[in-house]
Structure 1
Amino acid sequence: MGFLIIFQIAKASEYVSILRGEEKTRKENNRINAFLLLAFLILGLIGVVWCHEALKDKVLGEAASNHGERIDSMLMITLWITGAVFVLTQVLLFWFAYKYQEKEGRKAFYYPHNNKLELIWTVIPAITLTILVGFGLYYWFQITGEAPKGAQEVEVWGKQFNWEFRYPGKDGQFGKRYYKDINEATANPLGQNWNDPANHDDIYTTGEVHVVVNKPVKFIIGAKDVIHDVGLVHFRMKMDAVPGIPTTMWFTPKFTTRQMKEKYGPDFNYEISCDQMCGKGHFSMRGVVIVETQEEYNAWIATKQPQYLAAKGGAAPAAAPAAPAAQPGGTNMKPVQSADSAAAAAQPTAMLNR
């Protein structure tokens, strides 16, 4: 019905133009379009400014990490440069359409080529973009480079459609894993090798990850099925989770969850989302990041049972070798070999995934 109405209106306009004279109708339409383009330019620029002022502090909020501050600064520089070019080119485009509209006695000027102009609008954008890309690479290498000594480490695992996390125990070491040992039915969702004493105090959680405020945290990221993507919008961080290829990134949280709730309301939560289409349940693959003080984190981790106990039905874990470098101030203990690890010493370990 709508198509028929539009078709009839078009046919009526065509008949009117024939009756009034096609030349006269074309010139009137051209003049109307010139004024409409000028109005679109003015109203459009007003709309851009209004939207920016109304929404600039409501979409993402303040960057909540040290790297996030630099990402925001780089983004603002990019927006200022590209915004200036956008305004200049759009003003010229729409103003020219209005100013040089068809008029009696006016003839278009043929301007085929100018080497100087070609050089200017090729070289200047190339240099500008090279500088912007250089800043981006510099920040990227910082984010994906080595975390500071003593940084908190957390393994982040993506699967359809949930996030899983592993924390090292008091020894500060992650135990070995082997993907063929993954078996949720036996309480081994990450394929941990229970013959490795370093696994006996590792903590496993899902859906919610805890990190310490003002302390660098390194995420060691992987996936168990398809490609996922760790998205931390409030920290301005993002990294692919790829099966078989571990990726890393690190950042330092600036504000606790409690501070952000006081600032943005009680419904605020730091979110960890999947930013890569990973299947029909992709929309639901969301988790929560809890940023807290060191004391709060210590109290929380003390309530968690090592996954080894869940897998072994509450058996006491064997001591694992200490790692003073990862846990400053810790004691330097000699490794204690459990009965399981002694039996496993004779087994081939070449295929174990470190």
Structure 2
Amino acid sequence: MTYLIGLLSVVFLGLAIMIVSKSIALSKGIQGADDSDARVDGANNGNAFGFLVFLVLGSIAAAWSFLHSQPDFLPVAGSEHGLKTDQMFWISMGVVTAAFFLTNTLLFVFAFLYRYKKNNVATFYPVNHKLEIIWTIIPAIVMAVLVFTGWRIWRDITKQAPDNAVVIEVTGHQFGWYVRYAGNDDNKLGNQNYKLIDDTNQIGIDFTDESSFDDFTANELHLPKGVPVLLKIKAQDVLHSVYLPYQRVKMDAVPGMPTKFWFVANKSTDEMRAELGKSDFNYKLNCTEICGRGHFGMAITVFVDEPEDYKAWVAQQKPFLTQNPDYLAKVPEKLKGKAQKYAPAEAPAAESDSTQAAAGAAPATASLRRR
């Protein structure tokens, strides 16, 4: 490809030099030579045929470039809505390509047919309402159809997620992603508060909300195949952007403004590996918003599992409270009984405030009695 670009550059440079030299010769001929009309006719004929040659060679080069680059346009779609957006992409590409070749063909052919000739007289053609109506209405109809079709697809993508959607929270930070799952018990993510962020609770899970008790975190993103997934997207510091190229998912992660995107992955990791012929292939979640010096490494591995495998993986995960029993102390008194379910087996039961107070007061009471 590099050699082709270099060759074309040399060809175009040569053509430019030739045109400049001919222009200089024409100007000299017009100023003093009797055969200036012949020179002008010859130059115009040469340019006119040059236009046709450029049209043919340019069309061949454009077609070759398109066909050569087509495999890199879009990766294989791995979601249900991705099939629709890909179809819309290729329809739009077809319309634009047809318009490109039509208009450029007319441009170069007209330049050839209506080049300067000594005995030609220009026709005064001030207006043609019918022609103007045709070339206004047809593009307007085509654009309206494309816009309406695209709007319908976007409406379906951004509508309310189904009630059975798996809820997963993705939080961007410099330079990585925190992934929180809604757990096995309620499929609800608990509240979050940036004031609660510390070295362990890095996303500020709020344990005054009982929906947080079964939430768990992971360093990778697991998605069930064929099941709606609702991504709740946040950012802690600067603007990031969640990008799953194969699933056709892209949504900005904006500090202070949660966003969301739901979709259905329709090809498991194993199926995509078989289709691509790459046994080591893995889906990736990337950041597509330049967010600092470490932006290039802001990616995590994504696994699309069969529903049974996904359930088995989730069942193996331990809630954040189980892995960090110290946070049981942050649970309100009235919810400690429910939270105790998630305490590790070896951890002592979380003491209530009244029990702790009574334990602290007992020695003092005993000493008073001895007095």
Partner residue, 2:127: 113
CA RMSD of aligned residues (A): 3.2
Between structures 1 and 2, the one with greater helix share: 2
Distance 1:106 1:163 in 2: 71
What SS does structure 2 have at the residue aligned with 1:240? strand
Q: Percent identity between the aligned chains?
A: 38
CA contact (8 A) 2:167 2:189 kept: no
CA contact (8 A) 1:197 1:341 kept: no
Partner residue, 1:167: 181
CA contact (8 A) 1:175 1:196 kept: yes
Residue pairs, 1:2-13, within 5 angstroms? 13=21
Residue pairs, 1:243-322, within 5 angstroms? 243-264=255-276, 265-312=278-325
Relative distance call for 1:35 and 1:244 in structure 2 (3 A) is same
Relative distance call for 1:255 and 1:337 in structure 2 (3 A) is closer
What SS does structure 2 have at the residue aligned with 1:56? helix
Which protein has the larger Cα radius of gyration, Structure 1 or Structure 2?
A: 2
The aligned amino acid for 1:281 is G
* 1:192 to partner: Cα distance: 0.7
The aligned amino acid for 2:257 is I
Partner residue, 2:78: 64
The aligned amino acid for 2:196 is D
Which is bigger in relative contact order (C-alpha 8 A, separation at least 6)? 1
The aligned amino acid for 2:338 is V
CA contact (8 A) 1:309 1:315 kept: no
* 1:50 to partner: Cα distance: 2.9
Q: Does 1:336 align with 2:344?
A: no
Q: Does 1:217 align with 2:225?
A: no
What SS does structure 2 have at the residue aligned with 1:336? helix
Distance 2:280 2:39 in 1: 59
Residue pairs, 1:116-127, within 5 angstroms? 116-127=130-141
CA contact (8 A) 1:200 1:317 kept: no
* 1:26 to partner: Cα distance: 5.8
Among 180, 188, 206, the alignment partner of 2:201 is: 188
Q: Which consecutive residues of structure 1, in runs of 5 or more, have no partner in the other structure?
A: 1-5, 319-334, 344-354
Deviation digits for residues 25-71 of structure 1 (CA, Å, limit 9, x no counterpart): 66555443333322222122223333343443444233111101111
CA contact (8 A) 1:230 1:272 kept: yes
The aligned amino acid for 2:194 is Y
Relative distance call for 1:141 and 1:340 in structure 2 (3 A) is farther
* 1:15 to partner: Cα distance: 11
Residue pairs, 1:18-33, within 5 angstroms? 21=29, 23=36, 28-33=42-47
CA contact (8 A) 2:175 2:298 kept: yes
TM-score for both structures, normalised by structure 1: 0.78
Distance 1:149 1:305 in 2: 24
Distance 1:127 1:176 in 2: 48
Relative distance call for 1:267 and 1:342 in structure 2 (3 A) is same
Q: Does 1:40 align with 2:54?
A: yes
Distance 1:69 1:156 in 2: 24
Deviation digits for residues 82-112 of structure 1 (CA, Å, limit 9, x no counterpart): 2222221111011112222222222443433
TM-score for both structures, normalised by structure 2: 0.75
Distance 1:137 1:229 in 2: 22
Among 155, 165, 176, the alignment partner of 2:191 is: 176
* 1:168 to partner: Cα distance: 0.9
Partner residue, 2:142: 128
The aligned amino acid for 1:255 is K
Residue pairs, 1:147-166, within 5 angstroms? 147-166=161-180
Relative distance call for 1:15 and 1:193 in structure 2 (3 A) is closer
